[in-house]
Structure 1
């Protein structure tokens, strides 16, 4: 059995570990993982069957952890995954991810694109009409769409994003037809559940997750072609400087989710208002340590700083989706 455990992939071992921990503990672990990692591990959890205690014990030994006597392995895995993901991410955020994990195992058409490498998806759609590409990207999760868009020909990018912003849903029949077209190009099963795709908020979310240079190029081009649409997209975007508008409770909740190294890197060159807001919501000692660490490490690459800021923004949006914090700034709603 040790040989079997040794042959298991890291993702499979992580899945066995989480199934062994119990729902609440597994949910706490998942909160600190990226969406893509949650998807991979969740899919492995849902696929596990006939996991013996000996196998589990060997895996736990490999993780240098102790295994409780009672385990949920092999017992209602689908229901377990649903409950864990809801506890970790909230019902709204988890619903789409659950579909991708539990239904995506045998998916085709548009749904199967969510399981493909971003470059493969870009190669698949790059020769399609921009309206088709817009519908496909709007159907995918914003982080995946944000990775695919820069891989498309430069002349297409702003056009596609404008079309996403102008989408106001799509007829189910049209979505089914598009799904059939995609299905003919690769194998996999269709799980279309909604025709509500696209819109200005989707476009803003995709831009939020893109590299700042590419984001600025696309927003600039959209502004030239349609200034009103460009402004409406900008109004719904939430950028790092907007963190200064968070209330203290929301900021403290956000800081609990962010590692010190990421925070220190993100604050290099940040707007002083953001830096002051963050330091104000930390203990005096923690704030001093953060400043000292930033000074000791010296200058950082702009690309690394922007990546850290994007990571923090992704956490902020996750917490906002779960109702834990309230986002202000351009992407938030005013309170009077």
Structure 2
């Protein structure tokens, strides 16, 4: 009888606590535990008890709870940038790629202030299929409007012959006027229904193109830059200047930096640190032994003034090694895809 009662639960009979319990069951043990840590003992007891009562609910009821939850989430104006990517990642982690995509197909926003915001909810392969037959300028607008890591994934999937031209067009984008967005919306409307309020938007530019390139592998990056250099050497150099640089190392985890520094010649590191700010210098020196750190500091002091170009070259050598190791999966660099090592 008790099992039968459980199976009869649906979205109309569930309490708010039971709906929260269903969400907790989907989050997985680690995420659910983190949520419980922020609750009071009474709330934990109430939610824990509810989790036992919803074990027999149907898939349809679970989907309805998810629909209701994300519908409410979309109405929150203070969720912030990146909410779409967060929702997509949470669902994928909880349900798996196939089930997550099924849920996302039902909860994606029907309208948006950006003409192609719905693309933020889509899988990169689906986006690439959507734009593969469009003009390169349309491809560039679409990719430039995405989250940088997602844009890089779409770029990777597109044919190699298209990639340099798309990066070139993204780098040359500045303020996109309403008529351009209107044209883009018309293209997208052939693929899915969209209603938007058009306005001038700042997307693209060299920095955007460089950040997208940061998420690509080094061999792909070098091939694209080489192709761009044929027509616009200045643009190629500008892209390089805005890509992953020495100062970005401060965002990486210590374990990866420790692995990286073991592969760097000490003379190169000493020269590279001459141009680093105190915070980055302290972080990198904290990733080597105390004896090595003391030796490096003494060498830096004895070295005296050095040419800026020499410092920059040393920093480029460090970054070159770092990126090769990141591409090989040996380390993880913050800003180059955020891959999880296993």
1:106 aligns with 2:109: yes
Query: Which of the pair has more CA radius of gyration?
Result: 2
Tell me, yes or no, if the aligned pair for 1:172 and 1:194 is still in contact at 8 Å.
yes
Distance 1:190 1:9 in 2: 36
Deviation (angstroms), 1:196: 0.8
1:169 aligns with 2:175: yes
Tell me the residue number matched to 1:150.
156
Tell me, yes or no, if the aligned pair for 2:24 and 2:32 is still in contact at 8 Å.
no
Residue pairs, 1:126-145, within 5 angstroms: 126-145=132-151
Distance 1:315 1:285 in 2: 31
Distance 2:206 2:199 in 1: 21
Q: 1:97 aligns with which of 82, 101, 114?
A: 82
Tell me, yes or no, if the aligned pair for 1:113 and 1:121 is still in contact at 8 Å.
yes
Distance 2:161 2:29 in 1: 44
Deviation (angstroms), 1:205: 0.7
Q: 1:121 aligns with which of 119, 127, 131?
A: 127
Q: 1:233 aligns with which of 214, 217, 239?
A: 239
Q: Deviations over 1:188-219 (max 9, x none)?
A: 76576761111111011111111111011101
Distance 1:80 1:7 in 2: 18
Aligned length: 240
Structure 2, unmatched stretches of 5+, are: 8-17, 40-45, 55-68, 88-106, 274-280, 294-323
Q: Deviations over 1:240-263 (max 9, x none)?
A: xx14x97xxxx4xx46xx262x44
Q: 1:215 to 1:187 in 2, by over 3 A?
A: same
1:281 aligns with 2:276: no
Q: 1:313 to 1:100 in 2, by over 3 A?
A: closer
SS of 1:185 mapped into structure 2:
coil
The RMSD of aligned alpha carbons is: 4.6
Tell me the residue number matched to 1:207.
213
Structure 1, unmatched stretches of 5+, are: 24-50, 60-73, 86-94, 289-301, 317-336
Tell me the residue number matched to 2:296.
none
Deviation (angstroms), 1:178: 1.3
Return the structure number with greater relative CO, CA threshold 8 A, min gap 6. Answer: 1
Q: Deviations over 1:91-146 (max 9, x none)?
A: xxxx32247679x8414551111111111111111111000001001111111111
Deviation (angstroms), 1:177: 3.5
Q: TM-score, structure 1 length as denominator?
A: 0.55
Q: TM-score, structure 2 length as denominator?
A: 0.55
Deviation (angstroms), 1:183: 3.3
